[in-house]
Amino acid sequence: MKKQFKTIALALFATTLSFAALANTENPNAEKAKTFDVGMYYDYNSGTIKTFIEKQKGDQLHVTFLNDEGEELSGSYLNKKMDSGRVYFDINSLPTGTYSIKVSNGREEIIKPVDISQPSPVTVVKFSK
């Protein structure tokens, strides 16, 4: 019984290690800047994309919201003295389409794609008695 328990425990441990190693591997094709990092999420309550940026002091970053043709719809700068910042993009009035958020310091850039789709209208039917 003890031998079976040890074998099962060893198998579980090996499986856990293999999954942990798989989870820690990074995608070699992923965009990664060396001097700054970008995170973002969509806030349903306000209809904005909230972008969070951490960077090294001394670099100025340009954060832009681009349409599918690469035209700048909105932009903001993080100055050289800042080591982090937040930029919000209101997307309530934008039509369905593919957009992107570009963060660049002139030498490096990260481009994050954003797909916007409007929900189809729902027809409400009420029955009366």
pLDDT value at residue 9: 43
Sign (positive or negative) of CA dihedral 32, 33, 39, 40: negative
Residues in the chain: 129
- pLDDT tens, the chain, 129 aa long: 545 544 444 444 433 333 333 333 444 445 566 788 888 888 888 888 898 988 888 888 899 999 888 899 888 898 888 888 899 988 888 888 899 999 998 888 889 888 888 777 777 777 777
Residue 97 is encoded by which pair of tokens? 């389409």
Query: Which domains are delineated in the chain?
Result: 36-116 (2.60.40.3080)
How many whole angstroms separate alpha carbon 127 and alpha carbon 105?
A: 59
The pTM for the full model equals 0.65
How many whole angstroms separate alpha carbon 28 and alpha carbon 5?
A: 39
- As to burial, measured by CB atoms within 10 angstroms (0-12 exposed, 13-18 middle, 19+ buried), residue 76 is middle
101, 31 Cβ separation under 8 angstroms: no
3-state DSSP percent of the chain in helix, strand and coil, to 5: 20, 40, 40
How many whole angstroms separate alpha carbon 95 and alpha carbon 82?
A: 33
Strand partners, 116: 97
